[in-house]
Homo-oligomer: A and B are copies of this chain.
Amino acid sequence: MSTEANGEAESQARPLLSSEVSPLAQSTSQVAVVGANLCPIESLDYEISENDFFKQDWRTNSTVQIFQYVFMKWLLCFLIGGIVSLVGFCNNLAVETVAGIKFVVISYMMLAQRSVMAFVVFSVSNLMLTLLAALITAFVSSAAAGSGIPEVKAYLNGVDAPGIFSLKTLFVKIIGSISAVSSSLLVGKAGPMVHIGACVASLLGQGGSKKYGLTWSWLRFFKNDRDRRDLVTCGSAAGIAAAFRAPIGGLLFALEEMVSWWRSALLWRAFFTTAIVAIILVGLIDFCDSGKCGPFGKGGLIMFDVSSTNVSYDLWDVPPVLLLGVLGGLFGSLYNFLLDRVVQVYNSITGKCSGYKILLACFISIFTSCLLFGLPWLSSCLPCPADAEVVCPTVGQAGNYKKFQCPPGHYNDLASLIFNTNDDAIKNLFSKGTDNEFQYSSILIFFGTCFFLSIISYGIVSPTGLYVPVIVTGASYGRLIAMLVGSHSTLNHGIFAVLGAASFLGGTMRATVSACVILLELTNNLLMLPLMMLVLLASKTVADAFNNNIYDLIMKAKGFPYLEAHAEPFMRQLTVSDVVKGPLQLFHGIERVGNVVQVLRTTTHNGFPVIDESPLSESPVLYGLILRAHLIELLKKKAFLSSTEPTGIDVSEQFSVVDFAKKGSGNADKIEDVDVTNEEENMFLDLHPFTNTSPYTVVETMSLAKALILLRQVGLRHLLVIPKIYGRSPVVGILTRHDFMPEDILSSHPALTRSRWKGWRLTLPRWLNPH
């Protein structure tokens, strides 16, 4: 099973069963596909950049190269911003147009009282669109399924799931997202936009494609993990910025939710990227406002107008707002719980079979169509308001007053919400001056529908975001509370809807600062800030008492070895020698080729300690750490010696830095591709110039908690364990992120489980857990 071989990829010393990685990985196919081949990336670039060979690095070389690097860095950010904003814009325009045409056709049919025909058109078009999304996702790139945010977040933590940043994934994500969103499924586009942004960034940084000759030598500087991760961070910020036209919100989202390592310089570059997105979007929207983008070009990406006048509120508004927050926390944690379960159930039903997955998607689509078309019949018709500023009922365009089955001069408020894109529904709910537009029953039904549909829609094999559904759902119960509070509050219903959306975002994503700023930028009203903050505080606090945020739950279900920033208390009771296990594979400074090949073929480790023994050194000493990728490169170049004597040949003639550059995502060389003759097997390799001579080390008595802090804070891939008392080998083990997964440690130290669970019980209300 492939998971087994690769799940262990990082672990030097421990035969790790796939079931240990994730109990789910065996039974669930989507998980198995994505969770397989996990290969932690070299987290920061310290490890690779400090062998003798790399010391003659370009960074200290010449002004020209430094200029090239800096120029490219900013150019790439500019390109990321430009491309992501264009994709976001086209995405939005396509959804507005496809869905708009669909709704207009249905609207005309309903006007002509041909409701059966309307239903057939509605459900068939939805089914076709869903099918398109599901087919390309299942057969072209299954890594494009779901939101993408958990994958990008795991990548930024150092977990490189295969194929998440390939060109195929990008293509599927764009097309799939457009068709899924316009198919009336309750899925969003923000998550996919984040993934698209990250994809664009990774592909740009990867330096085009060597296969197709589309590469540029200036891009060689980005062939390392740190620069690529920086680009991906900027890309994910650009994604949110493009989805919501919220540049600061996008920046804060990347900062709060995505990154594991943060630097001040990154803030500045991500800000530049989101600024480019904002500037281009403003230009494009201006262009569309003049009517050049088709009949539906004015929809979407437009800021919601909650209230341009001053928002005034007093102390009496605090209780309903607090209630909203608490409700948001309760609903949010319930939502997370249910979503997690539903995804697991889906995975156990469909298994790995693409056919079943597509069938499931079709079923969900048909079910959604039936529900959406059927529910408005439950709602009673309302007479059109006399002072309506727009035509009522709406004819031939998006609008707040859908006639549906109602008699002339009347509109169906539930249909108005349902037969619009989610963006337009949000706009309806957020808008001021619409306090009497909706009935209790309609809003209640709409809330239930959204809550339910968004949970069952997420897990299908298609790009599906969570942000927009969460906002719609939150806005609907915000409206509900507003109607219950009625005239007891000075706030208008639109503001309650915004606060409801904030509370639900706080309850599910647990993103506070970014959610707040995104909503403020959407509504362009900074005066709402205090209320927004209050509601987010309440909802996050309540929801944290029950479970984790939705992305962490999904990541856990996918079996990503995500490394938390803080150590669990029981790790203080252990030393690193408690988790290191043998046998340790190591190489000598001058190693027989056959040995290297055999070790690389029989293990999947990514790093090996190199030691020097006599005659090179009096007693065995640790020389450093060599990476698998570099060994394979050496074998491919056949830089062999005929004897164990170091020759002193200048390696820089044989190799260039580019040979050791990080390959693009999923393009790493494999040992199976290396052919070595019998004769060559008895030759030798001088590993010294390619060994990182300054690996980070810990003494075997170091507490596990502190070793974790070192691994996490410095962003290491390997940590060498050296003995406390001399006499044995100069290195006793190697630690990787897999050795720090709490579940694995507890399974091999069951005695700690009690203390862990005691710890958990104590801190069961998670908000009591100090972090």
Contacts and interface: CB of A to CB of B under 8 A. Distances in A.
A267 B256 contact: yes
Interface centre among A69, A618, A724 (most CB of B within 10 A): A724
A271 B526 contact: no
Contacts of A272: 533, 537
Contact of A279 (B279, B513, B534): B534
Given A247-B533, A618-B725, 18 more contacts: A60-B755, A66-B762, A66-B768, A66-B770, A70-B768, A248-B516, A251-B513, A255-B267, A262-B262, A267-B512, A271-B513, A271-B533, A279-B530, A521-B526, A575-B694, A622-B699, A696-B698, A709-B714
A767 interface: yes
Interface string A221-256: 000000000000000000000000001100100011
Contacts of A726: 619, 726
A770 to B, nearest CB: 6
A699 B722 contact: yes
Interface of A: 44, 46, 50, 55, 59-60, 62-63, 66-67, 69-70, 73, 247-248, 251, 255-256, 262-265, 267-268, 271-272, 275, 278-279, 282, 308, 512-513, 516-517, 520-521, 524, 526-527, 529-530, 533-534, 537, 540, 565, 569, 572, 575, 618-619, 621-622, 693-694, 696-699, 701-703, 705-706, 709-710, 713-715, 722, 724-726, 755, 759, 762-763, 767-771
B55 A533 contact: no
Contact of A714 (B69, B524, B694, B714): B714
A767 B705 CA distance: 39
A291 B291 CA distance: 49
A540 B575 CA distance: 47
Contact of A278 (B529, B724, B759): B529
Contacts of A540: 268
Per CB-CB distance, the 5 closest pairs between chain A and chain B, nearest first, are A275-B533, A726-B726, A279-B530, A713-B713, A694-B703
A693 to B, nearest CB: 7
A617 to B, nearest CB: 8
Contacts of A530: 275, 278-279, 282
8 contacts: A66-B763, A256-B264, A619-B725, A621-B724, A694-B706, A697-B699, A710-B710, A714-B714
Contacts of A44: 709
A533 B78 CA distance: 13
Contact of A529 (B247, B622, B703, B706): B247
Given A267-B256, A529-B278, A73 B770 contact: yes
Nearest to A710: B714
A282 to B, nearest CB: 6
A710 B696 contact: yes
Given A526-B521, A699-B722, A714-B709, A60 B569 contact: yes
B512 A268 contact: yes
Given A70-B770, A714-B710, A763-B66, A50 B703 contact: yes
A37 to B, nearest CB: 28
Contacts of A714: 709-710, 713-714
Contacts of A50: 572, 703, 705-706
A67 to B, nearest CB: 6
B275 A534 contact: yes
A725 B44 CA distance: 28
A618 B565 CA distance: 38
A770 B697 CA distance: 28
Contacts of A308: 308
Contacts of A70: 767-770
Contact of A771 (B265, B517, B527): B265
Given A67-B768, A248-B517, A697-B698, A60 B565 contact: no
Nearest to A704: B694
Contacts of A275: 529-530, 533-534, 537
Contact of A263 (B264, B513, B529, B565): B565
Contact of A527 (B66, B524, B569, B722): B524
A529 B569 contact: no
Nearest to A541: B74
A331 B255 CA distance: 31
Nearest to A540: B268
Contacts of A527: 524
Nearest to A314: B286
Contacts of A706: 46, 50, 694, 696
Contacts of A703: 50, 693-694
Contacts of A265: 771
A66 B769 contact: yes
A62 B759 CA distance: 9
A713 B43 CA distance: 14
Contacts of A264: 256, 565
A759 B59 CA distance: 10
A55 B572 contact: yes
A763 to B, nearest CB: 7
A529 B524 CA distance: 11
A569 to B, nearest CB: 5
Nearest to A71: B768
A251 B248 CA distance: 13
Nearest to A522: B526
Contacts of A529: 247-248, 275, 278
A248 B152 CA distance: 26
Contact of A569 (B59, B524, B698): B59
A279 B759 CA distance: 36
Nearest to A623: B701
Contacts of A696: 698, 702, 706, 710
Contacts of A69: 770
Contacts of A715: 713
Given A530-B279, A533-B279, A724-B621, A268 B59 contact: no
Contacts of A697: 697-699, 702
Contacts of A521: 526
Contacts of A705: 50
Contacts of A63: 762, 768
Contacts of A768: 63, 66-67, 70
Contacts of A565: 263-264
Contacts of A694: 575, 701-703, 706
A516 to B, nearest CB: 8
A100 B285 CA distance: 46
Interface centre among A66, A516, A529 (most CB of B within 10 A): A529
A593 to B, nearest CB: 27
